[in-house]
């Protein structure tokens, strides 16, 4: 079982804002990173170290955290944002990695 907990599915109307959350004890000590994965493709890093975007990621993607919860926010969701989103961090020992179970985002 995953040590990071995500809602299995979330939906958002086109152009609206959606927040995807990730909860876990280790998030009190380690930053969460967020990955987007579309069917048949490799994951793509969209947010790292709480609220940093790699080059090429649109600024509608942002991250935040509070206590043991990390969040990914998409402001003005687009059709191409429909994907699975995974949070990732270290476990409590710091030596192992953990993923959330993933959130399937549907853009209506």
Partner 1 sequence: EVQLVESGGGLVQPGRSLRLSCTASGFTFGDYAMSWFRQAPGKGLEWVGFIRSKAHGGTTEYAASVKGRFTISSDDSKTIAYLQMNSLKTEDTAVYFCSREKYSGTYLFDYWGQGTQVTVSS
Who's near 84: CB < 8 A, 6+ residues apart?
36, 37, 38, 102, 103, 104, 105
User: Which CB sits closer to partner 1, 16 or 38?
Assistant: 38
Residue 80 Cβ, how far from partner 1 at the closest point, in Å? Answer: 19
User: Which CB sits closer to partner 1, 66 or 95?
Assistant: 95
Dihedral-angle region of residue 15 (phi above 0 means left; psi in -120 to 50 means alpha; beta otherwise): left
Of 20, 31, 97, give the one whose Cα is nearest residue 68: 31
User: Which CB sits closer to partner 1, 21 or 88?
Assistant: 88
Which residues sit at the interface with partner 1, rule CB under 8 A? Answer: 2, 30-31, 33, 35, 37, 41-45, 48-49, 52, 54, 84, 86, 88, 90, 95-102
């Amino acid at each position: 079982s995953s040590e990071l907990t995500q809602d299995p599915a979330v939906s958002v109307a086109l152009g609206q804002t959606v927040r995807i959350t990730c909860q876990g004890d280790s998030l009190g000590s380690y930053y969460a990173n967020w990955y987007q994965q579309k069917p048949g493709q490799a994951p793509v890093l969209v947010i790292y170290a709480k609220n940093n975007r790699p080059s090429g990621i649109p600024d509608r993607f942002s991250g935040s955290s509070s206590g043991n919860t990390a969040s990914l926010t998409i402001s003005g969701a687009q059709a191409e944002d429909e994907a699975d989103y995974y949070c990732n961090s270290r476990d409590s020992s710091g030596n192992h990695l953990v993923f959330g179970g993933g959130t399937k985002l549907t853009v209506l």
